[in-house]
Structure 1
């Protein structure tokens, strides 16, 4: 078994985590290492559910905070084990998404034995794959008592800036019918790909909208992300499927966002179509008006980082939002480098995020 030294400098702990391959669905080794290391902390109750590890303090504090991060990565491309660049950056698969953040969690879980709030540390599996396999989602469904909290922090990469809430996301297939014919006699058929033109034109012309939610600006996106139609080079397509992805602001509920998408498609000029949802993931409001969030913002501000901003993508803070738990994203690493073959995270940013969280947990 790989042994993790939780007393090591946090950036070296991050390097040790990067060196453990943990592609989604193959987290056994890293989960074993995390569990073994945490069981050495006498102040923590450690619970394992599959390849998800939960470690909790039980000090009887008035408030409980959940701090979560996922153990898995996207597939490796010659970038494990990790290495240090000349600029002091930790490079390698998962250095950004999100083993630097997990290192911050583990380092503090061991070091902060008497926090000012009770803490639930959550390390979970299979975040980088289909939503129904997500380890945090599994805990929410099967062991909801383990994720109960008054506030939550997800240590996803944010460059050390607090990012409130997240946009919601949905994908829908717009299925358009036609009539097949030989392409030499195209007028005998109805070209389903051509019939998709009004929808594609409407999508191309739609401006990106922005909405301010609890003081943070969220930008929306409504895009065609895939189009499929046709069976051969000499056949008029009798069917076309346009997959549309709607990234929507947290001012809308999931149902309201569905209604907005359906209204848009209906008003595009398209007729004789069917709309089928293939993915529905709700948003999370920023939660920055919660008292715990305000104290967290104040502590992080003391490290000299920028003011909170909106999370433009979807993250697992939405799972906490579904439980009524205000949640933010906060962790080291540039999110634009997540999943890149050359992902890399500055060591000083790892140390900075650790300092920000420690200041808050011990205030």
Structure 2
């Protein structure tokens, strides 16, 4: 018989101050792959609300109303964070007063602020004007094949069904439409190793990458307009490896390139463009994910914009709105926190934006 003590599930107060709720969520460490404890805590809290049907699938948690409304919307957010650093990422700290109050710590911005907003709204809204599906999922910050939302889109697609979706990624409390696609390729150059004192006996693979890097440096970003929003593309070397010692001519060099493309291109079109741009070089594709058009001309999106206010901006980056778009659900990004601070050592989220997003979400779902 085991004497092991089961882990204590932290108690989350979904009816209290949403900023305190965010603090409690941040203090549950949930680096990708370790979402079990935070999912346990959220599940325990949500099962206390009779107006919600709660479904757990691994570390994906779905809570939904079943009121027979004419439409259904989805509000989703991921519970994982990028790894901690040597900086004091946890526990969460609150600094400042009044409108200047900020929460500092891993996940405050990306994206436990959005999760806190969704949880507070899910608990409060017993009679929303749309049926609502609330989704809290794991493994967003790692490779796509581990993504919990992707997994249930394949195994239980009915859970993602809806007329419109809101993803609580950090947007500084403004609407960001669509998202860029992302593509990564590697170009590998091979040479012949030799002692660096007798370099002429070998062939330097790093030197062979010069023409490839020159082509990268010559790239000029395009800024296409898509559905009324202007995107900014990017093509950059993000990693280069080569060499084994300071006295050996390297016989291998690999350059990894990331292409962020506007959603007017499909994944296939983006890949074809990259292959054409680097014609003459052999490329290995290591990652490819389509973007999502803004879809702001959809009636459900117009309704959300009217309720939230402000001028929508393009999402520069990839988010799971692309996954919703792939299953026919138009989606936008909307959440507290400056996206520039996502993954930063000093990641933080303004308390005022947490309140603003919570209020906007409730305003939209009640029609107030």
In the alignment, which of 153, 170, 186 is matched to residue 173 of structure 1?
186
Residues 144-223 of structure 1: matches in 2 within 5 Å?
144-223=157-236
Tell me the distance in 1 between the aligned counterparts of 2:171 and 2:50. 31
In the alignment, which of 17, 22, 25 is matched to residue 17 of structure 1?
25
Aligned residues: 354
- Match of 2:114? 101
Cα 1:93–1:181 shift into 2, 3 Å: closer
RMSD: 1.5
- SS class of match (1:352): helix
Higher deviation after alignment, 22-31 or 107-116: 22-31
In the alignment, which of 278, 288, 303 is matched to residue 280 of structure 1?
288
Tell me the distance in 1 between the aligned counterparts of 2:243 and 2:28. 45
Contact 1:176–1:274 at 8 Å: present in 2 too? no
Cα 1:286–1:233 shift into 2, 3 Å: same
- Match of 1:331? 335
In the alignment, which of 86, 93, 96 is matched to residue 83 of structure 1?
93
Shift of 1:258: 0.1
Tell me the distance in 2 between the aligned counterparts of 1:29 and 1:327. 28
Shift of 1:200: 0.5
Question: Deviations 1:96-115 (Å, cap 9, x if unpaired)?
Answer: 11111111100110111111
1:62 aligns with 2:70: yes
- SS class of match (1:186): helix
Tell me the distance in 2 between the aligned counterparts of 1:103 and 1:258. 37
In the alignment, which of 247, 256, 264 is matched to residue 260 of structure 2?
247
Tell me the distance in 2 between the aligned counterparts of 1:346 and 1:181. 56
Tell me the distance in 1 between the aligned counterparts of 2:90 and 2:195. 52
- SS class of match (2:349): strand
Higher deviation after alignment, 249-258 or 175-184: 175-184
Tell me the distance in 1 between the aligned counterparts of 2:304 and 2:64. 19
- Match of 1:353? 357
- SS class of match (2:283): strand
Shift of 1:230: 2.5
1:49 aligns with 2:53: no
Cα 1:198–1:118 shift into 2, 3 Å: same
- SS class of match (2:32): coil
For structure 2, the 5+ residue unaligned runs are 1-8
Contact 1:166–1:250 at 8 Å: present in 2 too? yes
- Match of 2:154? 141
- SS class of match (2:173): coil
Tell me the distance in 2 between the aligned counterparts of 1:347 and 1:55. 25
Contact 1:69–1:156 at 8 Å: present in 2 too? yes
- SS class of match (1:190): coil
TM-score computed with the length of structure 2 as normaliser: 0.92
Contact 1:47–1:54 at 8 Å: present in 2 too? yes
Shift of 1:181: 4.1
Shift of 1:182: 4.2
Tell me the distance in 1 between the aligned counterparts of 2:312 and 2:277. 32
Cα 1:231–1:29 shift into 2, 3 Å: closer
Higher deviation after alignment, 212-221 or 343-352: 343-352
- SS class of match (1:169): strand
- Match of 2:132? 119
For structure 1, the 5+ residue unaligned runs are none
1:259 aligns with 2:272: yes
TM-score computed with the length of structure 1 as normaliser: 0.94
